[in-house]
Amino acid sequence: MDNPENINPTGSNMLSASKARVELDSGEISSEKLVRDCLDRIKTRDVDIEAWVYLDPELALEQAKTKDKETPKGLLHGIPIGIKDIYDTYDMPTGYGTEIHKNHQPDSDSNWVKTLREAGAVIIGKTRTTEFANPYPTITRNPHDLERSPGVSSSGSAAAVADFMVPLATGSQTGGSVIKPAAFCGIYGYKPSFDGLPTGGVRHCKPSIDTPGFFTRCLEDVALMRAASLNTPINSLKLKNKDELRVGICKTEFWSEALPETASMIAEVSEILSSKYVKVEEVDLPIEVSIAMKEFRTIVATEDAKSFSQESKDHLQELNPWTQKVYNEAKSYTNQQYENAKVLAARGRTAIDKVFNYYDVLITPSARGEATKDLMAVETSYFNSIWTLMYLPCLTLPIFKSPSGLPLGIQLVCRRDCDDLLLAIGRSIEQKIKQ
């Protein structure tokens, strides 16, 4: 079993984005040096991990050299970043994880990529995703154990950040494709509130649910990346005006899916926080949320089949088994069933709002347990998809390890559009657990 931090632990690629920003501003390192160290790491490690689907080292170094000559104008000036291969890039192919579009070259950047470039980021390459960001596995491996899954579908981005190939990488989540890969790979994963990050120029699978997100190796970098993505000042991680933090331990109706290491972790979190004078209670979600979740598949299948109707019509046998199955499954749902499902989802969102009248944050598993050994398993995302459907912001903290030494994450969930509060609570809880 590997610990990526102990494999060739030298080079500026080991820096967080926040620390790299300080050293870039002071002249201690250059963007060219930082990008070279990232590329060297990729050259050494990606032969095993396969986190990248497209790299252009010359282009990346050219970008870095240009940044070194410029006066810094943005929060990410000179910092390398990986882009999940569903986000359009004008200077790199965007294949959406499928052989059908392998050589597709967009004419322009997606809105988010454009914003990141304007913030000064160096786009080092495209990270590997599953086909159309659906949950059927790809060839990427977990840096902590090459025989284990890095999660789907943002697996390339999560693995690249976890293995110190880049400090930041974009992802997206419909089920659990930010939070779960982050938990499996032992890093921070942030899924904002729905519509909380730019979405134009991305190939959507399920437009009414799909949510951009990203990966980092520290909480400061979450705040930095969020600010750069929204072109706003960096929000303080200091929790304000909270004399007593009200925490709801939410096991959800899927608790039976949790593996022993996860059950033990949640019990330990509850005990630690209670001992730190935090108000901790178990909470049950409103019945409307459970009803909405029963319609999740209806929404997913219908929107997925519609989004890729042309590919399914022309290349059905070339698509992976999961995509084929969903395309055929969608035929069993009527338009009325789909519209009813969206209505029930909206009712669930209204109902869950009331939970946050009593609790500042919910704590729940990031995944069933440690990264699975079955590299071809289509893994359940029960502990993630519920929050994606509810449009709530989520953050996973890589604080714990399983008995076998693999990463375990705890997931924090806040009220919609309270993303800054979520990050501040995350810092407070992280500090309390580590004390």
Q: Give the catalytic positions in this structure.
A: 84, 153, 177
At residue 218, φ and ψ (nearest 5 deg) are: -155, 160
Residue 350, judged by CB atoms within 10 A of its CB (0-12, 13-18, 19+), counts as exposed
- Which residue from 304, 331, 336 is spatially nearest to 320, judged by alpha carbons? 304
Number of H helices, E strands in the chain: 15, 11
On whether the CB atoms of residues 80 and 167 are closer than 8 A, the answer is: yes
Exposure on the CB side of residue 136, measured as CA atoms within 13 A: 12
| Tokens 């109706």, located at residue | 253
Cα dist. 116→75, 97, 247, 359 in Å? 9, 22, 34, 34
For residue 70, what are the contacts with CB-CB under 8 A and spacing of at least 6?
A: 77
Which tokens go with 234? 């960096």
Burial 97-136 (b: 16+ CB within 10 A, else e): bbebbeeeebeebbbbbbbbbebbbbbbbbbbbbbbbbbb
Which tokens go with 331? 């035929």
